[in-house]
């Protein structure tokens, strides 16, 4: 008999259908109307989705573990229905060479509640070649932001894109043209937007298109027009909830300081609509935790970034409930596409896939409270907003979250070094 069976309204082929998922050795072994198992989870009328994957987090380990570390960050992920994260390389030291990558992996190993992959950054093709077998992707920073990593030179970017393509390493780009960023004193979200205009983003994307950057992923797109530009050029796009839900009119002050910046209300609304119409490839939180103390500094010296891995899917589930976004669009952006693009056998409820599932009760709308979140940073820019958090999360066939609370062990694995 099958080890574990989950019964409920399953998300299959773009719609919800009553049925059973059979799980053995961490994998989905059957999807049928009726299945019998040693153990059964009856989700009843609740909906059973593939767990989400966040292709863009900053878990800050090593080097800045006062802000976050892999244990706290991965608990936050789990609480938000995310069982795979890709961590960015602007840790300290930056993940820019094999020795540092190996150290980072050694430090993180055994501490994560969810599966993870590591992005690296380098402008040296030979370094990328050495790291390639162990990485989820290459990150290119065309604009300066937290950490001082920068590669904004067409020749160098072109060289790295070619190398990454030859090595089959996915590339994600922070697309803000650094030469178009001003460094004037800023005291408000409006000033910060003036310093980092949308033109800087448009121009970075135009340059990538001119470089023939097919297949590249544009991170945290803030403008609806760029979603179309990316698609037309054969690139993928990633959108973060903060650019869809928050704008420069928000009372967040320095807490809302982030790169690329929050934009005008109209631009935000247009982005939200475009995402709802299915124009974005993926959701990515750009979870960038900084402590409450750091975010309470004067605007000008306060670090950029907002947390989000924990609230991304729950906020979007609330949007689905309000009929703002079709469920199928959300699952495609947050589950199917990230898994497909980064080669993780997840994202769909299908035989052979990893048994990573999240169960939601669509009637359980709650409001976000920073004090109830697991991220070490201790605050959220979404305080008081509507969200639907998962009740149960299963990863590798193990129950990792129950009754909305994490209950598992640090069984997360590296998607490259310990194949799932
Ligand atoms: O606001 C940001 N914060 N943008 C980035 O690109 C990096 C991030 C961070 O690491 O804090
Ligand atoms: Zn970025
Ligand atoms: Zn980022």
193 — pLDDT class (breaks 50, 70, 90): very high
Average pLDDT of the segment spanning 268-291: 98
Average pLDDT of the segment spanning 238-259: 98
**pLDDT value, residue 339:** 98
59 — pLDDT class (breaks 50, 70, 90): very high
| Active-site option among 286, 293, 361, 417 | 286
Average pLDDT of the segment spanning 1-27: 97
Q: Is the pLDDT of residue 70 over 80?
A: yes
**pLDDT value, residue 417:** 85
Q: Across the chain, what does the average pLDDT equal?
A: 97
**pLDDT value, residue 418:** 74
Q: How far is the CA of 141 from the centre of ligand 2 (A)?
A: 7
Of ligand 1's listed atoms, the one at least distance from the Cα of 147 is: 10
Three-state secondary-structure class, residue 73: helix
Q: What is the pLDDT of residues 308-346, one digit of tens each?
A: 999 999 999 999 999 999 999 999 999 999 999 999 999
**pLDDT value, residue 149:** 84
User: Torsions phi, psi of 32, nearest 5?
Assistant: -145, 165
CA torsion angle for 59, 63, 65, 69 (degrees, to 10)?
30
First-last CA distance in the chain: 23
Average pLDDT of the segment spanning 263-271: 98
**pLDDT value, residue 145:** 81
**pLDDT value, residue 240:** 99
Residue 258 Cβ < 6 Å to ligand 1? yes
DSSP single-letter state for residue 377? T
Of ligand 1's listed atoms, the one at least distance from the Cα of 304 is: 1
**pLDDT value, residue 419:** 61
Of ligand 1's listed atoms, the one at least distance from the Cα of 303 is: 11
pTM above 0.75, yes or no: yes
Q: Which residues contact 338 (CB under 8 A, 6 or more apart)?
A: 52, 53, 54, 55, 84, 282, 284, 344, 347
CA atoms of 97 and 81, how far apart (whole Å): 32
Determine if the peptide bond prior to 93 is cis (ω within 30°). Answer: yes
Q: How far is the CA of 217 from the centre of ligand 2 (A)?
A: 12
**Which residue(s) pair with 367 in the sheet?**
386
User: Torsions phi, psi of 107, nearest 5?
Assistant: -65, -40
Ligand 1, from 63, 294, 304, 377: best to mutate by most atoms within 8 Å of Cβ? Answer: 304
Average pLDDT of the segment spanning 378-389: 98
Residue 83 Cβ < 6 Å to ligand 1? no
Average pLDDT of the segment spanning 296-314: 98
Q: How far is the CA of 361 from the centre of ligand 3 (A)?
A: 31
CA atoms of 364 and 388, how far apart (whole Å): 6
- CA contacts within 13 A on the Cβ side of 381: 34
Q: Is the pLDDT of residue 420 over 70?
A: no
Q: How far is the CA of 233 from the centre of ligand 1 (A)?
A: 26
CA atoms of 298 and 304, how far apart (whole Å): 12
Residue 286 designated active-site? yes
CA atoms of 194 and 90, how far apart (whole Å): 25
CA atoms of 62 and 108, how far apart (whole Å): 8
What residue has token string 């995402």?
A: 275
Q: What is the pLDDT of residues 109-163, one digit of tens each?
A: 999 999 999 999 999 999 999 999 999 999 999 998 877 789 999 999 999 999 9
∠ at Cα 156 (151, 159), nearest 5°?
130
Three-state secondary-structure class, residue 345: coil
**pLDDT value, residue 242:** 98
- Residue ranges of domains in the chain, CATH in brackets: 2-48+351-406 (2.30.40.10), 51-341 (3.20.20.140)
Q: What is the pLDDT of residues 204-215, one digit of tens each?
A: 999 999 999 999
Ligand minimally distant from the alpha carbon of residue 90: 1
Average pLDDT of the segment spanning 57-84: 98
CA torsion angle for 102, 103, 107, 108 (degrees, to 10)?
-40
Ligand 1, from 87, 88, 121, 145: best to mutate by most atoms within 8 Å of Cβ? Answer: 145
């Amino acid at each position: 008999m099958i080890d574990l069976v989950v019964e409920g309204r399953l998300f299959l082929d773009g719609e919800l259908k009553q049925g059973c998922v059979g799980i053995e050795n961490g994998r989905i072994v059957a999807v049928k109307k009726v299945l019998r198992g040693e153990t059964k989870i009856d989700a009843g009328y609740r909906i059973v989705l593939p767990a989400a994957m966040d292709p863009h987090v900053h878990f800050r380990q090593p080097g800045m573990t006062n802000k976050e570390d892999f244990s706290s960050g991965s608990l936050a992920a789990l609480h938000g229905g995310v069982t795979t994260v890709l961590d960015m390389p602007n840790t300290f030291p930056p993940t820019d060479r094999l020795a540092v990558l190996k150290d980072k992996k050694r430090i993180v190993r055994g501490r994560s509640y969810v599966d993870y992959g590591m992005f690296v950054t380098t402008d040296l093709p030979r370094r990328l070649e050495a790291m390639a077998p162990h990485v989820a992707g290459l990150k290119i920073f065309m604009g300066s932001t937290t950490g001082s990593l920068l590669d904004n030179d067409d020749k160098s970017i072109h060289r790295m894109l070619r190398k990454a393509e030859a090595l089959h390493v996915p590339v994600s780009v922070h697309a803000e043209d650094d030469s178009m960023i001003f460094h004037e004193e800023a005291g408000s979200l409006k000033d910060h937007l003036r310093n980092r205009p949308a033109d800087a983003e448009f121009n970075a994307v135009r340059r990538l298109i001119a470089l023939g950057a097919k297949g590249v992923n544009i991170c945290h797109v803030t403008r609806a027009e760029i979603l179309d530009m990316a698609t037309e050029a054969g690139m993928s796009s990633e959108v973060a909830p903060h650019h869809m839900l928050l704008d420069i009119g928000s009372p967040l002050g320095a807490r809302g300081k982030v790169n690329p910046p929050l934009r005008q209300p109209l631009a935000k609304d247009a982005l939200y609509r475009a995402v709802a119409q299915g124009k974005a490839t993926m959701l990515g939180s750009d979870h960038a935790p900084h402590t409450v103390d750091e975010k309470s500094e004067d605007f000008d010296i306060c670090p950029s970034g907002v947390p989000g891995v924990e609230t991304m899917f729950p906020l979007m589930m609330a949007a689905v409930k309000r009929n703002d976004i079709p469920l199928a669009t959300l699952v495609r952006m947050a589950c199917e596409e990230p898994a497909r693009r980064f080669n993780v056998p997840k994202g769909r409820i299908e035989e052979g896939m990893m048994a990573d599932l999240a169960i939601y009760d669509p009637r359980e709308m709650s409001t976000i409270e920073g004090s109830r979140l697991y991220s070490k940073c201790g605050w959220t820019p979404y305080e008081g907003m509507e969200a639907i958090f998962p009740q149960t999360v299963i990863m590798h066939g193990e129950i990792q979250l129950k009754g909305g609370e994490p209950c598992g062990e640090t069984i997360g694995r590296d998607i490259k070094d310990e194949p799932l």
